[in-house]
């Protein structure tokens, strides 16, 4: 049997576009004499469709287009992800399903049994868990078909508070009673640099435990916050990877069953350099698809001479092209001379349009208007925030006038502790670095400069500063980023308590102060733009904390 793995980039709700992609792959596979094409989870409508699943017309469109795909399956079979109506009197209205299409019709429907309701997932809101476990018989082979989470019956405990078994049933255990020959898993599994090894181990452990080869097909591309890396693969019964698709790219691969299962395993590496490369590629993919799928083409951002805006600019140019990115440099009386020269050097290296607009006079006008109201009070945070908001207004003016979407440049460390100004530097249509800790921003800068200097060296080595008052440095009010990020990672991603973090050797006062800042600034993060997710616990849809609470 020849199987085609179809790792594609879908647009949610673009039925015509998705159908065209799917049919093109089917026709090509048929010409190459493939017997079965495997597409990813909810491929017909894109993932995640969220509350569109609650609209009758949307589900009807899903079924209409599944039938259109089935019409192309007269000489070839297809495994396709789509929602399926629940015909039972009780339960949720839908199943998350894999449709086996053959001979011009739907021959079998496999319902997803394990519905994740953690982190960014909320599938039980929409779907009923499947309870009928049957293999697919095709061309003399019995295939155990599973949908994404169905392989995650056993999971590692990462936070010290949880269970390794979140579900009461193992779909593969049920399917293996029917003696399948291999496993197919169709997935929409988002990228996370902290979980890539875990995902790989989950696939491997299933292949080993059940002594079955495994064919895994994931989607690729980004839909708002979520970035899908693809990475579709084939594993032998020992859990070794024998074939892997490109990451962050559409990829079509033909494999011969069972010959592929006997191929030599691939060498695998997980170095820190590869992790940073993956984060870089994920962010470029996230920017590119956000603009392309929303029908936008041009971006604008404020280029300060600091490392965050520098890295954001490079990523934007890679994603959109230099002709589609514009920057404003908005110096105040506190901006150092090298901040402007560093920003100009980067803009000229990349070939992007830049304008220098001093905000000194505008700040003076604000000071004059507010002078009688602020009389007798020392200058402080309010005056600093006025500068950030003036910059935000100027950037939004360019956005409104010329249709350039404003990119937010704040990093995760700053967002975590509230080191940003609402309606100022927190403005934007998309947050590029909002899930990237400051220490990783530096690593990204070094990765960008791996072959030649693109980001000026001075931008990388100078002490970080918001430059909102004389001689200001981030370290005036924050711990060194190496320490801060260690606290934040353990508190946010690993959900450790203050006492547990202190036992890691970090000073008690610093830990408690940092956690207080994180908790106190939830209201700010609630108002940020969508954040491209590259970790296992990004701010936004994957981390839901109460705004009004005491904790």
Considering only CA atoms, give the Rg of the chain.
26
Domains, the chain, ranges and CATH? 2-261 (3.60.110.10), 277-474 (3.40.50.620)
Query: What three-state secondary structure class fits 91?
Result: coil
Pairing verdict, β 2-7 and 251-256 = antiparallel
Give tens-digit pLDDT for 69-107.
Answer: 999 999 999 999 999 999 998 999 999 999 999 999 999
Residue 148 to residue 170: CA distance in whole angstroms = 13
Query: Count of CB atoms within 10 A of residue 259's CB?
Result: 10
Average confidence score pLDDT of the chain? 95
Question: Distances from the Cα of 72 to the Cαs of 64, 94, 182, 539, in angstroms?
Answer: 13, 25, 25, 42
Give tens-digit pLDDT for 37-58.
Answer: 999 999 999 999 999 999 999 9
Residue 509 to residue 486: CA distance in whole angstroms = 15
Task: Give the dihedral sign, CA 53/57/60/65.
Answer: negative
Query: Count of CB atoms within 10 A of residue 94's CB?
Result: 20
pLDDT of residue 160: 65
**Residue 488, φ and ψ in degrees, nearest 5:** -65, -45
70 and 249 Cβ atoms separated by less than 8 Å: no
497 and 393 Cβ atoms separated by less than 8 Å: no
pLDDT per residue, tens digit, the chain (551 aa), is 999 999 999 999 999 999 999 999 999 999 999 999 999 999 999 999 999 999 999 999 999 999 999 999 999 999 999 999 999 989 999 999 999 999 999 999 999 999 999 899 999 999 999 999 999 999 999 999 999 999 999 988 766 677 778 899 999 999 999 999 999 999 999 999 988 889 999 999 999 999 999 999 999 999 999 999 999 999 999 999 999 999 999 999 999 999 999 999 998 777 788 999 999 999 999 999 999 999 999 999 999 999 999 999 999 999 999 999 999 999 998 877 788 999 999 999 999 999 999 999 999 999 999 999 999 999 999 999 999 999 999 999 999 999 999 999 999 999 999 999 999 999 999 999 999 999 999 999 999 999 999 999 999 999 887 777 777 777 777 899 999 999 999 999 999 999 999 999 999 999 999 999 999 999 999 999 999 999 999 999 889 999 888 88
185 and 153 Cβ atoms separated by less than 8 Å: no
Within 8 A by CB and 6+ apart from 51, the residues are none
Q: pTM of the full predicted structure?
A: 0.95
**CA angle, 257 as apex, 251 and 258 as ends, to 5°?**
135
Within 8 A by CB and 6+ apart from 108, the residues are 99, 100, 134, 136
pLDDT of residue 271: 77
CB-based burial label for 148 (10 Å; 0-12, 13-18, 19+): buried
**Residue 119, φ and ψ in degrees, nearest 5:** 50, -120
Residue 459 to residue 328: CA distance in whole angstroms = 17
Would you name the residues annotated as active-site residues? 41, 112, 148
Question: Distances from the Cα of 177 to the Cαs of 97, 132, 173, 183, 208, in angstroms?
Answer: 21, 13, 7, 13, 16
pLDDT of residue 334: 82
Residue 95 to residue 198: CA distance in whole angstroms = 26
């Amino acid at each position: 049997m020849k199987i085609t793995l179809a790792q594609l980039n879908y647009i949610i709700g673009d039925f015509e576009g998705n159908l065209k992609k799917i049919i093109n792959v089917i026709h090509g596979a048929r010409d190459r004499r493939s017997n079965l094409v495997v597409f990813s989870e909810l491929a017909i409508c894109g993932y995640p469709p969220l509350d569109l699943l609650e609209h009758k017309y949307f589900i009807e469109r899903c079924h209409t287009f599944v039938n259109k795909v089935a019409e192309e399956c007269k000489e070839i079979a297809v495994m396709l992800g789509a929602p399926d109506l629940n015909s039972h009197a009780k339960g949720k209205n839908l199943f998350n399903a894999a449709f086996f299409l053959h001979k011009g019709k739907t021959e079998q429907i496999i319902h997803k049994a394990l519905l994740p309701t953690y982190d960014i997932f909320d599938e039980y809101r929409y779907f009923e868990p499947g309870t009928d476990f049957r293999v697919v018989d095709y061309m003399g082979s019995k295939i155990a078909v599973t949908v994404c989470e169905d392989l995650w019956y056993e999971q590692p405990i990462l936070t010290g508070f949880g269970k390794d078994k979140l579900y009461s049933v193992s779909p593969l255990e049920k399917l293996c009673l029917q003696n399948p020959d291999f496993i197919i898993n169709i997935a929409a599994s988002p990228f996370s640099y902290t979980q890539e090894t875990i995902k790989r181990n989950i696939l491997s452990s299933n292949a080993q435990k059940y002594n079955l080869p495994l064919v895994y097909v994931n989607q690729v591309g980004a839909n708002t916050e979520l970035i899908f890396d693809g990475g579709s693969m084939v594993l032998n019964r020992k859990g070794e990877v024998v074939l892997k698709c490109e990451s962050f790219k559409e990829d079509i691969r033909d494999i011969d069953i069972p010959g592929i299962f006997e191929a030599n395993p691939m060498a695998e590496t997980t170095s820190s350099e590869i992790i940073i490369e993956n984060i870089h590629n994920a962010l470029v993919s996230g920017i590119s698809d956000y603009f392309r799928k929303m029908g936008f083409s041009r971006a604008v951002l404020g280029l300060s001479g600091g490392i965050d805006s520098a890295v954001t600019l490079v990523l934007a140019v890679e994603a959109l092209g230099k002709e589609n990115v514009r920057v404003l440099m908005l110096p105040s009386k506190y901006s150092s001379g090298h901040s402007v020269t560093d920003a100009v050097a980067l803009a000229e290296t990349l070939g992007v349009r830049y304008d220098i607009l001093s905000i000194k006079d505008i700040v003076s006008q604000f000071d004059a208007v507010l002078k009688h109201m602020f009389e007798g009070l020392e200058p402080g945070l309010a005056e600093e925030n006025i500068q950030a908001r003036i910059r935000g207004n100027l950037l939004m003016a360019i956005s409104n006038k010329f249709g350039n979407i404003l990119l937010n440049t704040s990093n995760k460390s700053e967002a975590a502790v509230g080191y940003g100004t609402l309606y100022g530097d927190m403005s934007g249509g998309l947050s590029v670095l909002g899930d990237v800790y400051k220490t990783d921003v530096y690593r990204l800068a070094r990765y960008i400069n791996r072959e030649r200097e693109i980001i000026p060296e001075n931008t990388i080595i100078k002490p970080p500063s918001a430059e909102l008052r004389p001689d200001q440095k981030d370290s005036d009010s924050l711990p060194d980023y190496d320490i801060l990020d260690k606290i934040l990672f353990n508190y946010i991603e690993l959900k450790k308590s203050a006492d547990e973090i202190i036992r890691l050797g970090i000073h008690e006062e610093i830990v408690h102060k940092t956690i207080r800042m994180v908790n106190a600034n939830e209201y700010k993060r609630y108002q940020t733009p969508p954040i491209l997710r590259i970790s296992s616990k990004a701010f936004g849809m994957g981390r839901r904390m109460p705004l009004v609470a005491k904790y």
